[in-house]
Amino acid sequence: MGKILAVTGCPTGIAHTFMAEEALKKAAAELGVDIKVETNGAVGVANELTEEDIRDADGIIVASDKDARTYRFAGKRVIEVPVADGIRRPKELIEQILAGGGTVKAGGAVKAEAASTGAGQESIGRTIYKHLMNGVSNMLPFVVAGGVLIAVSFLWGIYSADPASDQYNNIAAALKRIGGVSFSMMVPVFAAFIASSISSRPGMVAGFVGGLLANETGAGFLGGIIAGFFAGYLVLYLVKALSGLPRQFEGLKSIFILPILGVLLTGALMLLLGGPVAAINESMMNFLANLQSANPILLGIVIGCMSAFDFGGPVNKAAYVTGTILLGQGNYYFMAGVSAACITPPLVIALATTIFRNRFTEDEKAAGLVNYVLGATHITEGAIPFAAERPLVNIPILMMASSISAVLSYLMKIQVPAPHGGFLILPIVTRGYLWVIAILIGSLIGAVVYGLSRKPIPAAEAAK
């Protein structure tokens, strides 16, 4: 039996990445296959694939929602899928690659040749999503660090960073200043890493400058998306257009021509589009803010359903990123519902496995205990293994529970000034005790419904 390789990665690099790694290793062991899995986690690449690994591999599975540097696999059969597929159907992916499925990865002028299965061919939508998520994954540490530091500064008072206020405190002012700088890097970093995902390092400079101009013109997050994709594909085009230059001009091309043209053209576009995009951006944010006041129940249902639809996937991330944008504009109410909705699914699982002990196996009850920790720290992904078991039944239950938590958070007008952290940030949450009550009500209702939806397990089976 030959050797196969795998790469896993998710936008946050926290849960999906390692769940897919574990699932692939477990499936490979069951099939008697030798596998090495590289993880692209939050703290960097672990168990990195070497040139020798790649040369000797029979095939490679890339289960990643961000750039996995697949150019390394030129000439090898590769199956590229979302990270969720690595969790849900690892055995099927391994069997496909062993059967000769996948796509031969292009290298230089070599064209990709699809195998008869067609597996591994990415759609345009999937490609765009990966570039977008590469931006999100690199942006999040800046958002979390900046948001939490700003939030901590409020412990001295809401005006503690204002020298003209009686609440002014030097430490609070310093924290807010540092956090503000980190938070202000959100859009430039986002745009830079979208561009980098498309055209590697040459596109990063143009994307970063485009993101800075998006900030300056008020185009914000939408402007960052435009700048990132334009810069990335522009530089990719320029690299191909200049490929005929003699090798003596490689240095001139990489440090002079590409950066100047990339920054100039991307900058000109952002100056041209900055005003109109800023107007669209402001209209969208105002609509959400008004909905928050006019119809908090509808907003809570929408946010709850989005957050529990794919547990850290693109729909969940859309709600979360919107919350962080509004957070940067001083709206702390919106994030309260988003965080509550993200915390709820793992707590539903944890409570259900505690209350209905005769309806879960010993392994499931052990996983349920872990979900107390995952839920309390805002890691929604802990609910994935349970949701995947009966998705058509379990996901709607979790969406309902998250919606209840979000709706109650909005009705109680709770403010959460930090973008992440779960219950660890309770000291800086306005009406924190009510927020916990809102989340526990949604989680408990969801746990009861989820528990009742399962049948009791015979004692002999429950021990497994």
Sign for the pseudo-dihedral over CA of 364, 62, 311, 392: negative
User: What φ, ψ does residue 136 adopt, rounded to 5°?
Assistant: -60, -45
Q: Which residues contact 276 (CB under 8 A, 6 or more apart)?
A: none
Q: Which residues contact 317 (CB under 8 A, 6 or more apart)?
A: 11, 133, 136
Residues 303 and 298: their CA atoms lie apart, in Å, by 9
Q: Residue 146: exposed, middle, or buried by beta-carbon count in 10 A (0-12, 13-18, 19+)?
A: buried
User: How does 55-79 read in b/e, with b if 16+ C-beta sit within 10 Å?
Assistant: eebbbbbbbbbbbbbbebbeebbbb
The answer to whether 88 and 381 are in contact (CB under 8 A) is no
Active site (annotated) includes residue 305: no
The one catalytic residue in 5, 10, 37, 212 is: 10
Nearest to 179 by CA among 213, 154, 214: 154
Specify the amino acid at residue 135: G
Q: Which residues contact 253 (CB under 8 A, 6 or more apart)?
A: 242, 245
Both tokens of residue 316?
């969940």
Residues 242 and 251: their CA atoms lie apart, in Å, by 12
Residue keyed to tokens 């591999």: 57
The catalytic site residues sit at 10
